[in-house]
A and B are shown apart, each in its own frame.
Chain A
Amino acid sequence: MRNLLVCCVLFLTCFLTSFPTQAAGRVVHKERSLYQTIHVVKDRAKICLQFSVRRDQRNQSCIDTRNPQEMQFSYTKMMMAALLLVEQPESVLMIGLGGGTIPTALHELYPQAIIDVVEIDPAVVRMAREYFGFTSDERLRVYEQDARVFTRRAKKKGQRYDLILLDAFNGEYIPEHLMTREYLEDNRQMLTERGVLAANTFAVSDLYDHESATYADVFGTFYNFKIWQSANRVILARPAGLPEDTDVLKPRAAELQRLLKPYNVPIRRYVKDLAGRKDWDESARVLTDQYSPANLLKNR
């Protein structure tokens, strides 16, 4: 009898928790683009951009209309940790627009900086403008093209960036040519002397090992930045080298804490977690243009 009761409770719990992200909210816009199905969902003051391939939706980007500056996702905030490693970036390259949260924040923080955003899906750019208050101007420019093509062209033209942010993966499908050693090598060469690269990457599946091994191959050491309870991991790399003891970054964090307050980025708390352990299988095969079955590896 008690067992039955426990079973019932367990079943109910499982049943109820199986709909976590399908929270209340109404779809204000649905669009099938060439690359994904995009939903814009409004839930009270919150507006979210969701990409879906299967039925379960993933929030890509959200804003709180009462406080549009406040960042809603831990990975977005974690990406801002790159600012600990580069002061006053004058040129920024961002791969993957989403709702435009990060480029908008950087544009506000560093109005003099040139920010180039590359987004392959024109529908995402339209959604960002229409629902997320994203606006481009002569210093915040959007290029609707494949990141690999943009990067190759920009590098050839001698374009260099103080800060490169990679956020091209929507969680369902990975553009495999954006995860290879050759692509990362191109990015590394596009960094200025003081330049920093930050990448939002996967923290689960076999791909974690392969991706980590690939970054290690291109950059040597990097910060393997994870925080508790986040399924994301942010890689921070700087060809000029990274301090082994992150405590030296504390004054910089204190300085940024004020600046980043409106965005709700707890940057001071990040310092101790920044240099995460090397917890991947270092013998994992490096992903290259010759070998990049990322989507097959992701499902293992």
Chain B
Amino acid sequence: MRSALIYLLAGIGGFVIMALELLGGRVLAPYFGSDIYVWGSIITIFMLSLSLGYLGGGRLSLHAPSLSKFASLFLIAAVLLYPLVYFAEPLMEWVFDRIEDPRYGSLVAASTLFILPTVTLGFISPYSVRLLVETAHRSGEVAGRLYFVSTLGSALGTLMTSFYFVLWFEIDTILTGLAGTLLLLAALGYIGNRAT
């Protein structure tokens, strides 16, 4: 039951990461266009943030790991998503006024908008491994299953966002929905923590 919950959280975490990455293109386009370098900026920033997140999540898992700390990661990520809804425009305006070249403009804008939430989301995977692994013997299997779930979540997040969400909702609505989902997952984690 506890491990099912962790897999669920990690899977939806993967969903949110890719949904966010795809929306990044839409958020930046009005200021920096939709050229290949805009996608280059976004993907670079997401990969960089995730790599840092993995490192951080692994380090954090050394100190008294618990489901409630795990749930707090989702809470923090949710809170860090909100500036994207409320401050993205003035921030991109500020960057646009200072950096003429849209390549570096989009890179700087993508960093300021996406690094913090994505780093936090990157903490999830290694931390999940720590919570799930009971014996060294099964650690590979657990890690494999975890990659499976979170990458499957990412695939689904990509598909749903690009095929349907953008057709049904406004960008800010989707972002708010993602933040709301993360809050819900945090709540689930806290409840799970008390139940076990």
Contacts and interface: CB of A to CB of B under 8 A. Distances in A.
Interface string B161-177: 00100110111110000
B167 A183 contact: no
A199 to B, nearest CB: 18
Contacts of B172: 290
A293 B168 CA distance: 9
B190 interface: no
Given A148-B29, A149-B102, A152-B96, A290 B171 contact: yes
A291 B32 contact: no
A169 B97 CA distance: 28
A147 B35 CA distance: 11
Interface in A173-217: 175-177, 180, 182-183
Interface residues of B, number: 21
B33 A149 contact: yes
A235 to B, nearest CB: 21
Contact of B34 (A146, A156, A182, A290): A146
B90 interface: no
Nearest to A183: B30
Contact of B35 (A120, A290, A291): A120
A129 B188 CA distance: 62
A146 B36 CA distance: 11
B34 A175 contact: yes
B29 A177 contact: yes
Contacts of B166: 291, 293, 296
B67 to A, nearest CB: 36
Report, as a range, how many residues of chain A touch the other chain. Answer: 20 to 34
Interface in A142-176: 145-149, 152-153, 156, 175-176
A267 to B, nearest CB: 35
A292 B169 CA distance: 10
B34 A177 contact: yes
A179 to B, nearest CB: 11
B196 to A, nearest CB: 41
B101 to A, nearest CB: 10
Contacts of B31: 148-149, 152
Nearest to B174: A290
A151 to B, nearest CB: 10
A176 B171 CA distance: 13
Contacts of A177: 29-30, 33-34
A148 B100 CA distance: 13
22 contacts: A120-B33, A145-B33, A146-B32, A146-B34, A146-B102, A148-B33, A156-B97, A176-B29, A176-B34, A177-B29, A177-B30, A177-B33, A177-B34, A180-B30, A288-B170, A289-B30, A289-B171, A291-B166, A291-B170, A291-B171, A292-B26, A293-B167
